Amino acid sequence: MRHSRVIAASFIARVLPDPYEAVLGGPDPEATHRLLATVHADFVCPSNGHSISWQDCYDGAMILPLPHKADLLLDGRGNPKPLPVHVTGEAAARAREAQTIAARIRREARHMPLGNQG
């Protein structure tokens, strides 16, 4: 019997149920999603090229819920990862802002009943 292919992304809950999304995402949760995904893509895709496109890295991060996006920018202790050498200027300022938000998200998510979301 043949089974149709199931796209796993359709089962990933990118948006957390209320009130978690609003608490973790701040006044504009969608902007927070975009900021964290943008910085992740900036980190892993240097401007001189990468085997995976910047857009694919961004899209890969965008499917994740906020606690998982935050983890992309932090080390195992919840501290900001060092900025890659290719992240400079405006991108570096954006990265520092995103890492501050990511650290807050990780701290707050620990106290929420999100299963393994954070």
pLDDT at 103: 97
Query: What six digits make up the tokens of 62?
Result: 């965008």
pLDDT at 117: 44
Q: Which helix (H) or strand (E) holds 97?
A: helix 89-109
pTM of this prediction? 0.83
Question: Is the backbone peptide bond immediately before 113 cis, with ω within 30 degrees of 0?
Answer: no
Could you tell me if 79 and 60 are in contact, meaning their C-beta atoms sit under 8 angstroms apart? no
Positions of the chain with pLDDT lower than 50, given as ranges: 6, 8-11, 116-118
- 45-69 pLDDT, tens digit per residue, is 987 776 888 999 999 999 999 999 9
User: What ranges in 12-111 are assigned the alpha helix state H?
Assistant: 20-25, 29-44, 54-62, 66-72, 89-109
